[in-house]
Amino acid sequence: MYLMPARLFGCRPAKGNSQPILFLLEYMFGILDENGDVNMTVTKQRDALQLLKTIPLFPWYVEKFVEHKKAKKHSPSTLLGYLRDFAFFFRWLMAEGLTDAPEMKQIPLHVLNDLKKETVESYILYLQESHLYERAALLDKPTRSSRREYSDQTIKRKISSLKSLFHYLASLAEDENGESYLTRNVMAKIEVEADELTPLARAHAMRAKILIDGEIHQFVDFVYNGYLAHCTTTKKQQYHYQNRDRDAAIIALILSGGFRVSEIVNLNLSDVVLEKNQLKMVRKGKKEDAPFFSDWGKEYLQRYLQVRSKYQPAAGEQAVFLAVSPTKPHGHRIEVRSVQKLVKKYAQAFGIPDLSVHKLRHSFATQFLRLNPDPHQLQAQLGHSKLETTMQYAHVLEDALSEAVNRTTRTVGTLSPDTTETHDPTEES
């Protein structure tokens, strides 16, 4: 990538930063503003820096694609998702001998231009049957990911990512002569089936993965008290005691306000307004907001804050939720992936293995609509830009209510025989 001097952008290096090129990179990727001040949440900072480290591993035309998407305000997380999908495809090309390039960065553009539809279809088949193959040669972490079966949605996403890249190279980008980078777009011949589920069908599928009614309180109580019975070793018991206040507070906070996991992870101590039950945050689209949380969630949060110091936070660490590790013995900001894993751990032990951290947000939204049937209020609480996004929970609520009614009589058993005498129903009062 051609780097222009920072002065041409009217930028100055950040305080203490004697590396103008690094500053320029951080400015271009939105990490810093024109004054050298941090311009995004902690999670997005990490993703943006990871993006800077990862891009050099790819061919120049992928770098051009990323620059194009960055100009269209795509988030660092979204761009990293593209790169992961491209990396898997490029490594498959190399493993199949479809390019002589020794590494991804050196895969020439003509390899993409000359791909046949049959080759792409073979890749799709490979994705569908990947759990049948040993994929260690293709993966960064083969011991954890090999033999994993991809869902239909994951496969669709991987193909859609490639379609975006090929469309850019064939139809949007051009060289110094005004010609497209690709003369043919094989991915234009590949169809990706649209989601055929109706809103009601999606709601029914979601219902099996969320908490309703009393399950919300039961789950958090299980995290704090019940999970101990599943700890089979003294070490696991100690780990649970060390972290149960934090884990219960994170989960209760999401369930009491419908927050995104990234919003919880990015919280600083100064963002918590306990007297008003509010959290100050920057939501999607860089919108500043201060949504509320319930008194019930507040109790768990306060209990955690009273013991937060046991994580021995590093000097200046302002993150609300902390974690420690063998390499980082002092408390540091917990990562999104860590929260996702701890929710999955508790969900499996609780008996709802499909419950994820994002489904906790869905659980709150469904319960909110049940008690407050105003989708506009829910839209404001969740930070949705479109009401249609919020309305999906109306369908979930309908299905959840049906399930709740069924549960009230599930233990009754079979229908009792009719032992009453025949009578005239018109005589009933």
* Residues labelled catalytic: 260, 284, 358, 361, 384, 393
Q: Angle, nearest 10°, between helix axes 336-350 and 357-371?
A: 70
Could you tell me how many residues make up the chain?
Answer: 429
Give the span between the Cα atoms of 343 and 348, in whole angstroms. 9
Is the Cα torsion angle 134, 140, 145, 150 positive or negative in sign?
A: negative
* CA 44 – CA 22 distance, rounded (Å): 17
Q: Which residues of 209-238 are buried (b: 16+ CB within 10 A; e: fewer)?
A: bbbbbebbeebbebbbeebeeeeeeeeeee
* Angle at the Cα of 190 from the Cα atoms of 186 and 191, rounded to 5 degrees: 155
Is there a contact between 124 and 88 (Cβ–Cβ < 8 Å)? no
d(CA 425, CA 157): 61
Contact 47, 75 (CB under 8 A): yes
User: Which of 306, 262, 349, 346 is CA-nearest to residue 45?
Assistant: 262
In DSSP terms, 313 is beta-bridged to 331
How far is it, in rounded angstroms, from Cα 20 to Cα 22?
5
Quickly list DSSP for 385-419. Answer: S-HHHHHHHHHHHHHHHHHHHHHHTTTS-SPPP--
Measured distance CA(203)–CA(188) in Å, rounded: 32
CA–CA separation, 291 and 382 (whole Å): 8
Q: Tell me whether strands 278-279 and 272-273 are parallel, antiparallel or unpaired.
A: antiparallel
Rounded CA separation 271/286 (Å): 16
- Please give the single-letter amino acid code of residue 202: R
